[in-house]
Amino acid sequence: MASSVFLAGDENWWRQAVVYQVYPRSFKDSNGDGLGDVKGITSKVDYLADLGVDAIWLSPFYPSALADGGYDVADYRDVDPKLGTLADFDEMMAAYHKRGMRVFVDVVPNHSSDLHVWFQEALAAAPGSAARDRYIFRDGKGVNGELPPNDWPSHFGPSSWTRTTNADGTPGQWYLHLFAPEQPDFNWDNEEVIDDFKKTIRFWSDRGVDGFRIDVAHALKKDMSEPYPKIPGYDETHIPLDGSHHLFDRDDTIEIYRGWREVFNSYDPPRVAVAEAWVPTERRPRYSSPETLGQAFNFDLLITPWSAKKFKKSIEFNVDLAAKSGSSSTWVLSNHDVVRHASRYGLPQKANLEKWLLSDGEAPRLDRELGQQRARAAIMLLLALPGSTYIYQGEELGLFEVADLPGDALQDPMWLRDSGKRKGRDGCRVPLPWEKTGTSFGFGTGGAHLPMPGWFGDYSVAAEDSRADSTLNLYRSALELRKKSLTTESLEWVRSKGTVVHFARPNGWHSVTNFSHRSVRLPEGKVVLSSAPLVDGKLPGNSTVWLQK
């Protein structure tokens, strides 16, 4: 820990930061075991500094049996031995801080791993004990408790209840898990749980961590009183606006975050946080207010089809919403849970992505060129917006989803638990290609935990580094220019054709995106960057240009 370099400075650094999400197991493997690790992340500090991001966010690297890619945490205050040690972590922190980059870590407060010492204690303890009260145990229904307490589904299907076995081998109580059975939900009415998470936040803050990404931030508080309601679905369209859902976005959830805010603010500079909260947009400010987590992911553009009108509407709404909540907006196109956007943009708008994955990416056909063009245009649009942008590892290479992973290679509990109905999220979690050739394209020397397709070589860092017009070089140029052009958090819309999104920042930085297939006339101004070569002085379809006026 002594080696950590703490970054001082502006406490508003996060408001317009570009944050790069590292999915540790798939980033860079330093010891040839096929799994990315902490030393691997340290070894790529120059790459990320040259890319020009302000911060990195590490998905979980804690001890875990990897039942859900690490979101099943067995110990919140340690590093998974498969990925390294706390000393490696300190070394990594120091390296990133030295290059002026901040570090976010993931906090997973809704559930632990079933291997967490508390859950093991709970299993060994009697019903009604203090050890069981840290989780959500209930007696079953039916004559002998053989039926689950209710029919709530888990996100990964089918049931959100699993029955335990008593020490004498007889069947016991049931416990709640909104995700996999290996991810038992905590009871957030329990004081020990509340205290322990504050301890975790302090533990990482003391090690110099600058920010926290809060996993399923809206699920912590639950109304477990009977009668249990029917729960039609888990997406935010089913969550009412009045905080009355039994499982999600309950009003008192943010009391937890008020408590965390005190901890964040006891540091200098205050630690920051960003909520992953799939709630109706109107309710997002509750999580992003300066009294609670300070910022929340805005996934609206991630689910917005490629349409100028829809993008504009969503941007307008979110810039406004952020201002009202005292936060800044976040912009996101991809993360470790969704099909990579270079693929989404190359498929017909209405394509069913789950079916597409089940067809191994064969039907409908992916138009790679179109997907790539739009992905390049989209990131330039995002980077010109007021607020912060979250980039997912590999999108700077223009990587597509690996849609044809064979069933026996898949690790996602969505696939494993839902009888092969959903292929899940492994296709965006395939390790990064660093070199043009080699069994794992420079990811490591001992293969990769998910198969890497042959075409990855062309999208490797080495291949793109040497091509002036590569997506990697576009990201580098855009991030460099953005840094120079940063200005106050507002924008003004400029009148344009219906298929064009044109806005200006207060310092005369204009961004123009052409959502159509036809070239459009370029507005006046000095061209500073373009996602595609201009054609006869015009902006081609599916591209963005930045102008300075």
| Residue choice 216, 378, 461, 463 for contact with ligand BGC (CB under 6 A) | 216
The Cα 549–Cα 538 span in angstroms is: 17
Cα distances (Å, whole numbers) of residue 476 to 473, 508, 538: 5, 21, 24
Which positions from 179 to 208 touch ligand BGC by CB under 6 A, shown as an x/- string?
Answer: x-----------------------------
DSSP string spanning 530-543? Answer: ESS--BTTEE-TTE
Site for ligand BGC in 383-442 (CB under 6 A): none
Q: Which is nearer to ligand BGC, 88 or 276 (CB)?
A: 276
Q: Does 360 bind ligand BGC (CB under 6 A)?
A: no
* Contact of 290 with 254, CB cutoff 8 Å: no
Burial class of residue 245 (count of CB atoms within 10 Å of its CB; 0-12, 13-18, 19+): buried
| Residue choice 215, 395, 396, 426 for contact with ligand BGC (CB under 6 A) | 215
Nearest distance in Å: CB 146, ligand BGC: 28
Q: Which is nearer to ligand BGC, 53 or 332 (CB)?
A: 332
Cα distances (Å, whole numbers) of residue 304 to 277, 310, 374, 377, 541: 17, 7, 13, 14, 18
* Contact of 519 with 484, CB cutoff 8 Å: no
Nearest distance in Å: CB 426, ligand BGC: 11
Instruction: Report which residue type is found at 520.
Output: V
Site for ligand BGC in 300-359 (CB under 6 A): 336-337
Q: Which is nearer to ligand BGC, 72 or 489 (CB)?
A: 72
Return the residue matching tokens 């138009």: 367
Judged by CB under 6 A, how many residues of this single chain contact ligand BGC? Answer: 9
Q: Which is nearer to ligand BGC, 337 or 435 (CB)?
A: 337
Nearest distance in Å: CB 233, ligand BGC: 16
Nearest distance in Å: CB 318, ligand BGC: 20
| Tokens coding 508 | 């005369």
Site for ligand BGC in 98-117 (CB under 6 A): 108
Q: Does 71 bind ligand BGC (CB under 6 A)?
A: yes
| Residue choice 29, 185, 196, 276 for contact with ligand BGC (CB under 6 A) | 276
Q: Which is nearer to ligand BGC, 134 or 376 (CB)?
A: 134
Cα distances (Å, whole numbers) of residue 422 to 161, 215, 299: 20, 22, 21
Q: What is the 3-state secondary structure (H, E, C) of 201-260?
A: HHHHHHCCCCEEEECCCCCCCCCCCCCCCCCCCCCHHHCCCCCCCCCCCCCCHHHHHHHH
| Residue choice 29, 37, 68, 114 for contact with ligand BGC (CB under 6 A) | 68
- Residue nearest to ligand BGC according to CB distances in the complex: 71
Nearest distance in Å: CB 86, ligand BGC: 23
Which positions from 11 to 50 touch ligand BGC by CB under 6 A, shown as an x/- string?
Answer: ----------------------------------------
DSSP H/E element including 103: strand 102-107
DSSP string spanning 10-72? Answer: -TTGGGG-EEEEE-GGGT--SSSSSS--HHHHHHTHHHHHHHT-SEEEEPP-SS---TTTT-S
Q: Which is nearer to ligand BGC, 249 or 276 (CB)?
A: 276
Which residues face 214 on adjacent strands?
Answer: 107, 275
* Contact of 363 with 330, CB cutoff 8 Å: no
Give the single-character DSSP code of 159: B
Q: Which is nearer to ligand BGC, 70 or 208 (CB)?
A: 70
The Cα 261–Cα 63 span in angstroms is: 26
Q: Which is nearer to ligand BGC, 216 or 399 (CB)?
A: 216
Q: Which is nearer to ligand BGC, 192 or 337 (CB)?
A: 337
Nearest distance in Å: CB 417, ligand BGC: 12
Phi, psi of 107 (to 5 degrees): -115, 130
Q: Which is nearer to ligand BGC, 218 or 312 (CB)?
A: 218
* Residues lying near ligand BGC in the complex (CB under 6 A): 68, 71, 108, 179, 215-216, 276, 336-337
